[in-house]
Amino acid sequence: QQSREINFNPSIICSTINTLNKDHAEIIYSIILHHAVLCGIDVREVIPYEIKLLPVGKGLTVKLEKLPIELQKILYCYIISKQRN
């Protein structure tokens, strides 16, 4: 299995994630939850990575520095793929 290092710009994640439509925002949250489950976090009991849920319909607040670097790179790849479409 070949590994390829991803050079990413965290500011792209921050600036883009705030402008995503609801569908893409839900996908981002699903990716975060999936990553947490793979890391052994029980997402039924805990909201991972210090994510703050805003009032109903207002979304959530994610501090990028609280996410593992691996997860930041995954989100970056997802965002870049959506920008290319």
pLDDT 10s digits, 29-80: 899 999 999 999 999 998 899 988 878 767 778 888 999 999 999 998 898 8
pTM, two decimals, is 0.81
Longest dimension (CA), the chain: 43
In eight-state DSSP terms, residue 64 is G
DSSP 30-49: HHHHHHHHHTT--TTT--GG
In whole angstroms, what is the distance from residue 69 CA to residue 10 CA?
A: 10
Residue 52 β-bridge partners: 61
